[in-house]
Amino acid sequence: MTETISEADIAGAERLLGLAYTARERAQMVGNLDGQRDLAIARRTLPLDNGTPMACRFDPRLPGFAMPHGVDALQLSEPSAPLPSDPEDIAFAPLTHLSQWVRRGQITSAALTELYLERIAALNPKLECFATVTPDLARAEAAAMDSLLQAGVWLGPLHGIPYGLKDLFDTKGIITGWGAEPFQDRVPDSDATVTTRLRAAGAVLIGKTTLGALAYNDLWYGGWTRNPWNLHEGSSGSSAGSASATAAGLCGFSIGTETLGSITSPSQRCGTTGLRPTFGRVSRAGAMALCWSLDKVGPICRSVEDTGLVLAALNGGDAADRGSIAAPFQFDATAGIDGMTLGYLPEAFEEGATDVDRAALAAARDLGITVKEVTIEDLPYASLMMTVYAEAAAAFEALTLEDTDDTLTWQDEGAWPNTFRKARFISAVDLVQTDRLRYRVMQAVAEMMSGVDALIGPFSTGPMLVASNFTGHPCLHIRAGFEDIASRTAASLGAGKLTTGEAAGEKTFTVPHGISLWGQLFDEGPLLNLGMALEQKLGVAERRPTFPT
């Protein structure tokens, strides 16, 4: 039986919410709070699974917005590189090259698939980046793609290319475990829309890549996903396995998701090229929901042009996803960047920025385009995080109500279960006001971006990591250089997760460091053109990890 709420209970709750009522006000409330609480308890008796969406929908378009394009259009470069004799050179080749070699019969999809399967067998025990490898399925799909080519049928640039799929996308009959112990035996009976679209594009599913438990960091029920450039540290998260596998040359490309840094952060750590498209562009139907108003799907590759190639296959409205927005995607890889204007926030390149960050800005200036300072309204951007806490707690309410969160290996003050629990103490009024703040942030970012084609900056310095994820703007993260630094285990792991001999102490490792570019809503094409030019100028994209221990 639920106890009656007292004035003392109200006074205690005030401290949790940062409020102060008078004794008279508490006396007025005490008689009717029981009913309000009981309504919430009654609602909890109705199970809501992860696939039940919110009725409210987020739309990144402000009044007056017009789609920049009317139809889809994709124009890729035409590489002429010969097929290498070294299997490693093939494994690390960009998709544009792999696609041409397969299409021209210089290598079969079956041979390419075997090459990647052999690399997975050798390196996955070190990296722990695949939760499930699907060799039989991959061989069957590769054989089917080779048969289609022999019959004169080509499904597009991804035809016959093996890829890794983040293990929060449903794959019929194949475990989709969300990285978390309570779901590690979960086998869906249908495919996610992303799975279906990639199959239709001819891509070959080689395995399910790891994610930190419930899309948090790089620890999952099977282990700890490593950075190929330093096996003493995690690959960051939550698209941990996708970035690690792609950086290590274990697949042609991979798929990641981002709520708040889950494509950009592992791309920063592993040196991959991650594209987080505009919110709503890619369907999330059949994918684990973490935050319905924030989750986004995008490619993780080894070059900028490759991300556009994959996005073209993923793009398209989907009635099965309430957040989906039908938007044409245009990308011409042969287009130049003459006349573009690139903005930057000066404060983002000051405290907290690195020499690599500043060198990337200097390289952008050398591209011959206009590079200018911009400003953004001073708002409490970090307060938007309450939306993440609340939506994630709602998505996994059953875990904390039923205490099944205790089965998760990672339990500390920063991990999801504790965040889920503390989110109960966010007031509904504060959450509504946070959503109104979000609209103000949308206006502020739109104003800042109004005079530029794109913005450049360190991905986690300044307000843009948070702000752009909440406004839905696209972000391209590319490798910009390298740093010699000690292992970042403390930031990646909870207490007690290191085993004897795992810590590298103060030994330094040469690891990648990247830079982010943010573009206009639903206009990723110019963003990719700018990224291609900067990628070429920086000249560091082709360096490969050596898996140092």
DSSP per-residue letters across 136-162: HHHHHHHHHHHHHHHTT----TTTT-E
Phi/psi for 275 (5° steps) reads -115, 115
- Known catalytic membership, residue 262: yes
Catalytic residue among 235, 236, 238, 283: 238
Query: Residue 398 contacts by C-beta under 8 Å, 6 or more apart in sequence?
Result: 47, 404
Catalytic residue among 262, 265, 267, 516: 262
Count of alpha carbons within 13 Å of 49, Cβ hemisphere only?
Answer: 5
User: What single letter denotes the amino acid at residue 451?
Assistant: G
State the sign of the Cα–Cα–Cα–Cα dihedral 524, 525, 530, 536.
positive
Distance CA 136, CA 54 (A): 38
- Taking the alpha carbons at both ends of the chain, their separation in whole angstroms is 58
- Coil/strand/helix, residue 125: helix
Beta strand 341-344 pairing with 370-373: parallel
Distance CA 127, CA 547 (A): 9
Which structure tokens are listed for 116?
């990647």
Catalytic residue among 99, 109, 166, 242: 166
- Known catalytic membership, residue 507: no
Distance CA 41, CA 37 (A): 6
Count of alpha carbons within 13 Å of 466, Cβ hemisphere only?
Answer: 17
- Known catalytic membership, residue 460: no
Provide the residue count of the chain. Answer: 549
Please give the positions annotated as active site.
Answer: 166, 238, 262
